[in-house]
């Protein structure tokens, strides 16, 4: 499998756990941070974010030097949500052993989008198909 690249994309909730109502939100703007530099910078120094930021590969995050609370969704290799946590500034998140990707958004966004444990999401880089990285 090719690696993800820094860039833009969309996040869509495409599958829900058993017994839940149908598909959720439309595409949410997504910024992909795949390089070491982009992952290190993350949301530091920003006052907010429109949409979401995906860090890949990533298994844990922190909110030191951040200016606002965030929701953090930990995803496995198949883009199934393992856990969702709201983190205030100055906190260290626990690592998730099976997590391969992390999606960050402003606090409360994940609930509005229907992102919760057991849900599968589609992360689409601009110009690519489901769950696949952009062209080399």
What is the full DSSP assignment across 53-88? Answer: EEESS-S--B-TT-SS-EEEEEE-TT-BEEEEEEE-
Q: Is 120 left (phi over 0), alpha (psi -120 to 50) or beta?
A: beta
Query: Which pLDDT score is estimated for 32?
Result: 92
In a domain, 131, yes or no: no
In a domain, 107, yes or no: yes
Question: Where in the sequence is the domain holding 49, given as residue range(s)?
Answer: 7-19+27-125
Q: What is the pTM of this model?
A: 0.82
pLDDT tens-digit profile of 67-88?
A: 899 999 999 999 999 999 999 9
Q: What is the mean pLDDT of residues 80-107?
A: 94
Domain containing residue 62: CATH number: 2.60.120.1140
pLDDT tens-digit profile of 4-41?
A: 888 898 888 886 654 455 555 668 999 999 998 888 88
Q: H or E element: which one contains 104?
A: strand 101-106
Q: How many domains does the chain have?
A: 1
Please list, residue by residue across 40-60, b when 16 or more beta carbons sit within 10 angstroms of its beta carbon and e when fewer do.
Answer: eebbeeeeebebbbbbbebbe
């Amino acid at each position: 499998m090719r690696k993800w690249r820094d860039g833009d994309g969309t996040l869509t909730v495409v599958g829900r756990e058993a017994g839940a109502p149908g598909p959720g939100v439309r595409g949410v703007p997504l910024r992909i941070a795949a390089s070491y530099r982009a992952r290190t910078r993350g949301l530091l120094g920003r006052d907010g974010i429109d949409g979401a930021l995906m860090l890949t590969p990533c298994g844990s995050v922190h909110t030191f030097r951040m200016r606002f609370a965030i929701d953090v969704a930990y995803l496995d290799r198949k883009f199934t949500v393992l856990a969702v946590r709201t983190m205030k500034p100055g906190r260290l998140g626990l690592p998730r052993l099976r997590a391969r990707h992390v999606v960050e958004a402003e606090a409360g966004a994940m609930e509005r989008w229907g992102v919760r444990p057991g849900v599968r999401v589609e992360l689409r880089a601009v110009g690519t198909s489901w769950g696949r990285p952009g062209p080399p």
